[in-house]
Amino acid sequence: MIMDPNKLLIAPNPKDPKLAKPVVGRDQNGKEISTKVTIERPLTLYLNSQEIVTMMTIGDYPEYLAIGYLLNQNMLYPEDKIISIDYDQDLAVVVVRTHNETNFEDKLRKKTLTSGCAQGTIFGDLMEHVEKTRFAYNTSISTSVIFSLLNKINTTPSLYLESGAIHGCVLAETDHPIVYMEDVGRHNAVDKIAGYMRQENIEPKDKIFYTTGRLTSEMIIKTIHMGIPILISRSGFTEWGVSLARKANLTLIGRAKGKRFIALSGENRIIYDTALDLNEKNNKS
């Protein structure tokens, strides 16, 4: 797929009336004001005839969200053939149908009634995949690319800037954002991008992933599962997230704001080609 480096293939649409609406309130001085608030709504996901989960979401790109969720939960494998994705807006339901039964349905049959569901088994499978993954160091990223990418993301019109209460995730190639998804939950935003990559056959090995959310174990597991070697966030880390990233040779960059960041894993991929002068360092400290 040929990508235009100057244009996002999917960008936030902060003016969409289905995503945010004005609400009247009062400020700290008692003055009446109107402010926009993000709209969230339920979406129930089915895999073939099995109800999987009901998610709270802003409601855009439900098909990508459904596919990405199933992939990142190990309920759907890349080789599984999808024959249809049906979304009913009135019922708030999305149904993913596959050519054959999936691994998840087989696991459900093997679970006893008192077990509830196969989530624990799925988590174990995900961890097994993470434990086996070791990213090669044939992809690099320079500090100038990091700073340029952060600037482009932060200056892109978004629902976050319009109404807040939302997370954003970006798939990038060098310092060019390709897909920018938002949702009330950071995992929903990740899953939308995972679904888009699957449906559009986007190669992950030379890509960069950016999230506004914390670099927790779940975020690291999803990034590893998606096959993306570099993960950047403006937020901080958890210890287990760092440990998992180091085992997988994932480049993990956090607290990335302006021209500052901290890398706690995969530092060998970083090329330090932009040095701040002493005065700039002192001014920022």
What is the reported pLDDT for 214? Answer: 94
**Structure-model confidence comparison of residues 164 and 220, the more confident one:** 220
The strand pairing partners of 167, in sequence order, are: 183
**What would the pLDDT profile of 126-175 be if each residue is shown by its tens digit?**
788 888 999 998 899 999 999 999 999 999 999 998 888 899 999 999 99
Instruction: Please state, in angstroms and rounded to a whole number, the distance separating the CA atoms of residues 177 and 222.
Output: 19
What is the reported pLDDT for 283? Answer: 52
Q: Quick check: 177 and 193 in contact, CB under 8 A?
A: no
Mean model confidence pLDDT for the chain: 89
Mean pLDDT of 88-108: 87
What is the reported pLDDT for 164? Answer: 86
What is the reported pLDDT for 259? Answer: 93
Domain 41-131 in CATH 3.40.50.1820: no
In the structure encoding, which two tokens stand for residue 149, read together?
A: 């990418």
What is the reported pLDDT for 4? Answer: 53
Mean pLDDT of 50-70: 95
**Structure-model confidence comparison of residues 64 and 112, the more confident one:** 64
What is the reported pLDDT for 131? Answer: 86
Least confident of 89-93, 166-170, 279-283: 279-283
CATH annotation of 141-284: 3.40.140.10
User: Is there a shared CATH topology between the 41-131 domain and the 141-284 domain?
Assistant: no
Least confident of 20-24, 73-77, 261-265: 73-77
In the structure encoding, which two tokens stand for residue 234, read together?
A: 């403006």
Instruction: Please state, in angstroms and rounded to a whole number, the distance separating the CA atoms of residues 254 and 108.
Output: 37
What is the reported pLDDT for 130? Answer: 84
Model confidence at 181, pLDDT cuts 50, 70, 90, reads: very high
Least confident of 80-89, 115-124, 241-250: 115-124
Most confident of the ranges 6-10, 61-65, 109-113: 61-65
| pLDDT exceeds 80 at position 41 | yes
Q: Which residues contact 16 (CB under 8 A, 6 or more apart)?
A: 60
Domain spans of the chain, in order of start: 41-131, 141-284
**Structure-model confidence comparison of residues 202 and 106, the more confident one:** 202
In the structure encoding, which two tokens stand for residue 147, read together?
A: 């700073």
Mean pLDDT of 91-118: 71
What is the reported pLDDT for 110? Answer: 54
Q: Which residues contact 92 (CB under 8 A, 6 or more apart)?
A: 41, 42, 43, 44
What is the reported pLDDT for 114? Answer: 36
- The pLDDT > 70 percentage for the chain reads 87
